Structure 1
Amino acid sequence: MVYDVVVVGGGPAGATAAHDLATNGQRVALLDREGRIKPCGGAIPPRLMQDFDIPEDQLLTKISTARMISPRGRHVDIPVENGFVGMVDRKDFDPWLRDRAVAAGAERVVGTFLRIDRSRGWPRVIYRDKASGDEKQLCTRLIIAADGAKSRVARGEIPGADRIPLVFAYHEIIAAPEPSAHYDPQRCDVIYDGRISPDFYGWVFPHGNTVSVGMGTERAEVNLKQATADLRVASGLADCETLRREGAPIPLKPLDRWDNGRDLILAGDAAGVVAPSSGEGIYYAMTGGRVAAAAAEAYLATANPRALKLARKLFMREHKTVFRVLASMQSAYYRSDERRERFVSLCHDIDVQRLTFEAYMNKKLVKARPMAHLKIGFKNLRHLAGLVPETHV
């Protein structure tokens, strides 16, 4: 059998691509290792639920407030106006997405990708079957690689894929404590403290009966487990039962090229589509899967390899500006604790708060408020220059 598309990787990007393609009548195989859970705060915006038809029963809780905490312990609570931050656990959410793809008509294949063989006409995805341990193959017209940040597929197919900058993320899922002065089950805490992460941040994200507590950094010398233990102590969560531990690299810059000009497209983390500064990835992964499916449809209809470029073009048209702004913020504010103090002070500004969550929930910079953008730009320069006194909260 020759499949129209073989999708390698069954996370949010791969499962979304497989679902869209199968829904449109394509013959799709979804190859996934199964059993691996990516460390993830689990935050999803209302737009994701709307765009991808995610029912509310997938949410563990809805967050109404985000607390930004500075290196010196100052904090600002930002209300989520006109919306919410939904929380999912990847342990349950990813299998649900894969099951939905199968219900749409995709064939589920459980195994580990090994290589691509092009010696006999159509490309063949060679994998090791999980149940038997045997090498098997899937013959296909096109491949979508959605196998994560250190994509084995991408490294063999796309120049520069092995040089993508990475944040190493680690979190622990713990049993949720009772509400207290330290812990609010409807509040996300984001900790900007060089003792926890010298170049990124730590987080405490409620998941209903559990909590994700973790951090990320680009620096290989940082002890991720010790930093997370320190974060748990600082957050009053040291005595909570630890249910599981997970770690993985997360990319923070989209690759310049997402296709091999022949028969393969990247999607999700494999393409580098995690938002700088925030590290948000689920929405962008699913969007990456959707545009990869759209490019695949165009390729299958025309047999023109140039159609593969459509995936990156569609994604960047919609999200390039937001990614550029977030990358600038990370570069400006994450480099030192003094800059992080300034960043938390900036978060007190009502214009910053409103536009931050408008951009988060809608996934675009809201053009209806141009004066607010100008005001924020001016305030940002003043904070970076140290011309604004810190707000002591």
Structure 2
Amino acid sequence: MRLLSPSNLASDFSRHLRPAAHIAMLRREVLDSFLRSRAQSQGAHLLPALLTSLSLPSSPLHPYLLHYIPSGAGAGAGPATSTLAVDVVVGADGANSRVARCIGAGDYSTAIAFQERVRLPPAGMAAYADLAEMYVGDDVSPDFYAWVFPKCDHVAVGTGTAAAKPAIRRLQAAARARAAPKLAGGVVVRVEAHPIPEHPRPRRVAGRAALVGDAAGYVARCSGEGIYFAAKSGRMCGDAIVRIWKEKGRVAEADLKREYLRRWDEEFAGTFRFLDALQRVFYGSNAAREALVELCGDEYVQRMTFDSYLHKKMAAGRPLDDLGLLWKSAGSLLRATILGREVERLRSL
């Protein structure tokens, strides 16, 4: 993992990964297909369809009614809507979740992630065989980062922002420019954009309906990682439903909040708050980003970061080292700020 500052100062951020540890890169089109097939092999009944609305039950004993259009329906005569009655709903339908809207889960702010899949010549792909890059700077994002991530036989080149969504194509062009020498000869094979939640929704459980993944707003600030938390929340919610059903024979809102939400918040809420604070401190200006890249060269920073990242919980630090890191952080921020001001002064002359 290589992090590059606004001035293109590079920090090889994974020099201190523990033996056999690695950062996984996923192709969602492959992973999602695998998960669906595995669910079906374990007894799930798949209904490829578009959910149009959700009718809420009139009492705790009545079912939810899911209204949907089956895939392939409506050719010629208009879409034919079908209805399915269910006891419990788990909304895993992304940042623009229809389930969330139907249950009144509330709004949240979102960022936009824009990326191009680029197929590189063999020499270019060889350079990214075991390398992922992150670029920070106002040119590529005012509040996040840009990336070049390997995806088996191609790379994903993209950027994200919540503050400058209308400028996303300009920011993407800047990201391509920063990595241009390494992308020479590449051919864009796909362009895609997705909303990314900035924080959890106000309500993640309502009645016998629960939200998981992006629908619930489980995306880590600073890194933008969502796939682990989507999978983990789905499993935690499913396990909770099974436990409640076996014990009581039915599911209620209080049970879901206790068995799913409380356990989720106990395990991950602190991590999310800490990453939110880091993003606010280090992604707010080019001076702070320069300081971030400088700090990422520190061995203790790298060990703490990867121990936390790989195990998805805050690693236990050493008090004296933590004090030293606080001092280094303050020094790096101050130095970068002073240098930034001097550069701006010289530019104005």
Pair in the same fold by TM > 0.5 = yes
Q: Tell me what 2:220 maps to.
A: 275
Task: Provide structure 2 residue ranges, at least 5 long, that are not aligned to the other structure.
Answer: 75-79, 340-349
Counterpart among 126, 129, 136 of residue 185 in structure 1: 129
Q: 1:116 Cα deviation (Å)? A: 1.3
Report which of the two has the higher share of helix.
2
Q: Tell me what 1:51 maps to.
A: none
CA distance in 1, matches of 2:263, 2:71: 35
- Establish whether residue 379 from structure 1 lines up as the match of residue 328 from structure 2: yes
Alignment of 1:233-312 (within 5 A): 233-236=177-180, 237=183, 239-260=185-206, 262-301=207-246, 302=248, 303=250, 304-309=252-257, 310-312=259-261
- Establish whether residue 365 from structure 1 lines up as the match of residue 314 from structure 2: yes
CA distance in 2, matches of 1:70, 1:181: 23
Counterpart among 81, 85, 88 of residue 18 in structure 2: 81
Consecutive aligned runs of 4 or more in structure 1 exceeding 6 Å deviation: 387-390
Q: Tell me what 1:43 maps to.
A: none
Counterpart among 134, 159, 174 of residue 215 in structure 1: 159
TM-score in terms of structure 1 length: 0.77
Q: Percent identity?
A: 32
TM-superposition CA deviations, 1:276-335 (whole Å, max 9, x none): 000011111101101111232244342332111122222221122221211111000111
Counterpart among 150, 153, 165 of residue 96 in structure 2: 150
Q: Tell me what 2:3 maps to.
A: 68
Q: Tell me what 2:39 maps to.
A: 101
Q: 1:230 Cα deviation (Å)? A: 2.7
CA distance in 1, matches of 2:336, 2:147: 29
- Name the Cα RMSD after superposition: 2.3
TM-superposition CA deviations, 1:204-254 (whole Å, max 9, x none): 011221101101000244432332233223212153111111101001212
CA distance in 1, matches of 2:157, 2:260: 34
Contact 1:158/1:258, CA 8 A, preserved across alignment? no
Q: Secondary structure at the match of 1:386?
A: helix
- Establish whether residue 194 from structure 1 lines up as the match of residue 138 from structure 2: yes
Contact 2:133/2:149, CA 8 A, preserved across alignment? yes
Amino acid at match of 2:296: C
CA distance in 1, matches of 2:54, 2:244: 19
Q: 1:147 Cα deviation (Å)? A: 0.7
CA distance in 1, matches of 2:66, 2:128: 47
The 1:387–1:135 alpha-carbon spacing in structure 2 relative to 1, beyond 3 Å, is closer
- Establish whether residue 350 from structure 1 lines up as the match of residue 285 from structure 2: no
Q: 1:178 Cα deviation (Å)? A: 3.5
Range with greater deviation from structure 2 (104-113 or 305-314)? 305-314
CA distance in 1, matches of 2:199, 2:57: 33
Q: Secondary structure at the match of 2:53?
A: strand
Q: 1:96 Cα deviation (Å)? A: 0.6
CA distance in 2, matches of 1:180, 1:364: 35
Q: 1:373 Cα deviation (Å)? A: 3.5
Q: Secondary structure at the match of 1:198?
A: strand
Aligned residues: 322
Counterpart among 54, 66, 70 of residue 129 in structure 1: 70
Q: 1:365 Cα deviation (Å)? A: 1.8
TM-score in terms of structure 2 length: 0.86
Task: Provide structure 1 residue ranges, at least 5 long, that are not aligned to the other structure.
Answer: 1-65
The 1:180–1:108 alpha-carbon spacing in structure 2 relative to 1, beyond 3 Å, is closer
Counterpart among 149, 174, 184 of residue 230 in structure 1: 174
Amino acid at match of 1:277: C
Amino acid at match of 2:264: F
Q: Secondary structure at the match of 2:12?
A: strand
Amino acid at match of 2:18: E
